[in-house]
Amino acid sequence: MNKKNSVFIATSLDGYIADKNGGVDWLHSIPNPDNDDMGYLEFTNSIDAIVMGRTTFETVCGFDVDWPYTKPVFVLSNTLHEIPQSYKGKAYLVKGKLTEILEEIYAKGLFRLYIDGGTTIRNFLKADLIDEMIITTIPVLLGGGIPLFTELPKSLDFECAAAKLFLGKVVQNRFVRRR
Amino acid sequence: MNKKNSVFIATSLDGYIADKNGGVDWLHSIPNPDNDDMGYLEFTNSIDAIVMGRTTFETVCGFDVDWPYTKPVFVLSNTLHEIPQSYKGKAYLVKGKLTEILEEIYAKGLFRLYIDGGTTIRNFLKADLIDEMIITTIPVLLGGGIPLFTELPKSLDFECAAAKLFLGKVVQNRFVRRR
C-alpha cells in the first residue's frame, strides 16, 4: 500500500483557516442549498485514518453532534494524558516525533492519512511530510485571521493536479508534492 | 462602458508575490517550453490602461527589455516628481486619492484598468476598488516572502468565476467581487 499524507481543508481567498476572532462562519458564506459536501465524503472514504492536533480534537469534541469520523483518529499531543472515556476506541493519543508517530500508525496497517488542524498541518509541512493538499478556496478576503501556511525552513514544490468549481463560485484545487 | 478594475497576478501557493529575498525566480519553476502566457496577452488586450505603483514602474524600467506595455500606464506616486524623459507619452504620473485618480483616468475614456504592483493592489483592496482578480497560483510553498494580501478594514466577498489548469500543473482562478 502506498503511503500518503493528505490535507483536505478550506481557506479564505487570503489563506486564512479562521477569521480574526477565530470564527469560521465565512465557510458558509456561499449558499449551498443542497449541502454539496465538495468531495469530503469521497475523500474520507479514500483514507485509512485521521491525524489531528489536540486543539482540533477538543474543538470536534465540543461540537454538539455525534462523533463525525468513521476512521480511527490519532490525536497528537504532548500535554493530554489520556483520551476522554467516551472517545476511547475512536480516538488514540500519540506522542513524540512525527516520523515515529507515522511508523506507529503504519504498523497498524493504516497508510493513507488525513492530516488535519492548522498546527498539525504546519508541523507536517515543516518536516516535508505532506504529499497532497486539497484546498477549497472560499472566495472571501477576510483581511486577517489564522493563516494556513507559515514560515518553512525550505520551499516545497507541488503541482496542481486538478481544479474544480463547486456551487458555481467556490474553487477546489488539488496540489500534489513534486519530489 | 463598464468600469472595471482588474488584477492579473501570480502568487505562490502560500500567497507570496516575491520570495524572502524579493526574488521571483520561482515564477518559472514549472517548465514552460512553449512559453504559454497563461492568458496574459488576452487579458491585456481586454484592458484600456494600467495603474501601477512607483516601485513596480521602476522595476519595469530597470528590466533590460523594451517597454512592455501597449496601453497607457498611470504611475501612482507621491514622491516621484516626473516621469523620466524616455517614458514620456507611455507612462503618466498620477497623485492624490485613489477615487480622484480613477476619475481623472475615466475622463480620458479609459475604463477597464489593470491594477498592478503589491502595494497598489493592497491599497485598492483596502478601498474596495477591485472588481476582479485573476490569480495564477505557482504551486510552490515558499515559506516566506512578500504577501499579496494583508490586513483589510473589512472582509470582501468574491466568487470564483473560472478555474483553469495551465501546463498541467499551474492553476489560474478568476475571482469576481460580489457586491
- Could you give the angle at which helices B54-62 and B118-126 cross, rounded to 10 degrees? 160
pTM for this one? 0.95
pLDDT in tens, B65-89: 889 999 999 999 989 999 999 999 9
Tens-place pLDDT, residues B134-176: 999 999 999 999 999 999 999 999 999 999 999 999 999 999 9
B156 vs A171: CB contact, 8 Å cut-off?
no
pLDDT digits (tens, 9 = 90+) for B101-131: 999 999 999 999 999 999 999 999 999 999 9
Smallest Cα distance from A124 to chain B, Å: 13
Interchain pair B155, A165: CB under 8 A = no
Distance (Å) from the alpha carbon of A13 to chain B's nearest alpha carbon: 9
Q: Inspect the interface and report whether the beta carbons of A141 and B162 lie closer than 8 Å.
A: no
Test mutation, A28, A125, A149, A167, chain B, max B CBs within 10 A: A149
Give me chain B's average pLDDT, please. Answer: 96
Q: pLDDT tens, A15-55?
A: 999 999 999 999 999 999 999 999 999 999 999 999 999 99
Q: Which residues of B touch A (CB under 8 A)?
A: 13-15, 19, 26, 29-30, 125, 137, 139-144, 149-165, 168-171, 173, 175, 178
Give CA–CA dist A89/A83, Å, rounded.
Answer: 9
Q: Which residues of A touch B30 (CB under 8 A)?
A: 159
Catalogue all structural domains in chain B, each as residue range(s) with its CATH number.
4-177 (3.40.430.10)
3-class state of residue B166 by DSSP: strand
Task: Encode A46-77: b = buried (16+ Cβ within 10 Å), e = exposed.
Answer: ebbbbbbbbebbeebeeeeeeeebebbbbbbb
The cell 480613477 sits on which residue?
A: B102
Write down the ipTM of this complex: 0.95
Secondary structure of residue A138 in the 3-state scheme: strand
CB contact under 8 A, B15 and A19: no
CA of B15 vs chain A CAs: smallest distance (Å): 7
Cβ atoms of residues B144 and B16 within 8 Å:
yes
In chain A, which residue's Cα lies nearest the Cα of B19? A155
Between A and B, how many residue pairs show a Cβ–Cβ distance under 8 A? 111
Does the pLDDT of residue A140 top 90, yes or no? yes
pLDDT of residue A64: 82
pLDDT band at A1 (very low <50, low <70, confident <90, very high): low
Q: Which residue among A155, A164, A165 sits closest to B142, beta carbon to beta carbon?
A: A155
